[in-house]
């Protein structure tokens, strides 16, 4: 047998082993798609048919009271299928991807231990990406060190970073204060350079590496999606979105920049503060939602692994996932 033939057989054997190992892993189904594509209703139908439970992957559904503006599954919808990772914290609380991963892994294990299928639904950036790749390193930054770095100007922090990274700062955006601060904290806490930290991160397994992830993206034609957005915005406002935002403001919504600047909430806040005429409120929310959809499409295309994309008009419960 020639060397080339032997190498080919070895590669095939490794491939076969990978396929076998993948088949032995429990499966987590993930359903994503742009805002207003119909993920919620299709998720409910599939979960009911497959005796599944739903794990939310939406960065706003964590917050209690943020219901209408997030299109959170209603009480009736949550009664149809058990949901996880919804209404975890008040609007003044904080959730990050590390906390999300811990709670999502626990939910997945619990669901499967009780003999049910798992359906993850949503499309929020790093939260979704955590099912396919590592998204956070294990560097722990002590509070005292965080306070020390916070006291530096951006220029001082960049200078300190350069002294710790004689090989350069790579692709770090030194004009972004938050990224500079985070980079300096990690270098000081770990005693390693950014290049070393990046290499360590690349070797790190993803938090859901023990599961086989089956991903489907729902899509709709742009014109149809725009119409659905218009209808959704009208329904939210009719259902009492302005009153919801008033209540959330009283509960401290503006203390949480991520939540208060979310689409639907920031426009209502501007309206209540006299910065946006009431007659323009619906159009402003719809326009910003359409802009979000464009960003989501790009993100799904560039940040997610190869996956099935199915037009909503062609969907069936049996055909929602390949497996």
> Where exactly are the structural domains of the chain?
26-135+207-314, 143-203
Distance CA 97, CA 86 (A): 15
Sequential DSSP letters for 116-143: -EEEEEE--HHHHHTTTS--S------H
In this prediction, residue 315 carries a pLDDT of 94
In this prediction, residue 76 carries a pLDDT of 97
User: CA separation (Å) from 282 to 72, 81, 222, 235, 292?
Assistant: 19, 31, 19, 10, 15
Domain 143-203 indexed as CATH 1.10.20: yes
Q: What is the pLDDT of residues 150-160, one digit of tens each?
A: 999 999 999 99
Residue 256 has pLDDT above 70, yes or no: yes
Average pLDDT over residues 219-226: 97
Residue 128 has pLDDT above 50, yes or no: yes
In this prediction, residue 137 carries a pLDDT of 80
Q: What is the pLDDT of residues 276-316, one digit of tens each?
A: 999 999 999 999 999 999 999 999 999 999 999 999 999 99
In this prediction, residue 230 carries a pLDDT of 98
Q: What is the pLDDT of residues 73-118, one digit of tens each?
A: 999 999 999 999 999 999 999 888 889 999 999 999 999 999 999 9
Which CATH number does 26-135+207-314 carry? 3.40.50.300
In this prediction, residue 19 carries a pLDDT of 47
Distance CA 80, CA 45 (A): 9
Q: What is the pLDDT of residues 17-63, one digit of tens each?
A: 444 445 589 999 999 999 999 999 999 999 999 999 999 999 999 99
The region of weakest confidence among 13-27, 183-197, 245-259 is 13-27
**Are 26-135+207-314 and 143-203 equal in CATH topology?**
no
The mean pLDDT value of the chain amounts to: 92
Give residue 9's pLDDT band: very low, low, confident or very high (50, 70, 90).
low
pTM for the model stands at: 0.83
């Amino acid at each position: 047998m020639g060397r080339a033939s032997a190498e080919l057989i070895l590669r095939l054997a490794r491939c076969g082993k990978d396929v076998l190992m993948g088949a032995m892993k429990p499966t987590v189904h993930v359903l994503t798609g742009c805002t207003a594509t119909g993920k919620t209703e299709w998720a409910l139908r599939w979960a009911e048919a497959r005796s599944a439970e739903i794990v939310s992957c939406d960065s706003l559904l964590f917050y209690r009271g943020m219901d209408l503006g997030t299109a959170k599954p209603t009480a009736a919808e949550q009664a149809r299928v058990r949901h996880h990772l919804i209404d975890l914290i008040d609007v003044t609380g904080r959730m990050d991807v590390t906390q999300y991963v811990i709670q999502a892994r626990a939910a997945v294990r619990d669901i499967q231990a009780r003999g049910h299928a798992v359906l993850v639904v949503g499309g929020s950036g790093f939260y979704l990406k955590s099912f396919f790749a590592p998204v956070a390193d294990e560097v722990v930054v002590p509070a005292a060190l965080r306070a020390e770095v916070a006291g530096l100007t951006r220029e001082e922090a960049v200078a300190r970073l350069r002294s710790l990274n004689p090989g350069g700062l790579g692709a770090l955006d030194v004009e972004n204060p938050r990224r500079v601060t985070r980079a300096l904290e990690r270098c000081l806490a770990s005693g390693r350079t950014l290049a070393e930290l990046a290499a360590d991160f690349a070797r790190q397994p993803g938090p859901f590496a023990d599961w086989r992830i089956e991903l489907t993206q729902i899509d709709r034609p742009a014109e149809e999606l725009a119409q659905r957005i218009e209808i959704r915005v009208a329904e939210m406002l009719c259902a009492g979105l302005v009153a919801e935002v008033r209540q959330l403001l009283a509960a401290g919504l503006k203390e949480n920049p991520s939540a208060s600047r979310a689409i639907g909430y920031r426009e209502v806040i501007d309206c209540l503060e006299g910065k946006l005429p009431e007659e323009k409120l619906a159009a402003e929310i719809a326009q910003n939602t359409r802009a979000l959809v464009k960003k989501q499409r790009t993100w799904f295309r560039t940040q997610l692994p190869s996956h099935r994309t199915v037009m909503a008009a062609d969907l069936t419960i049996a055909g929602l996932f390949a497996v």
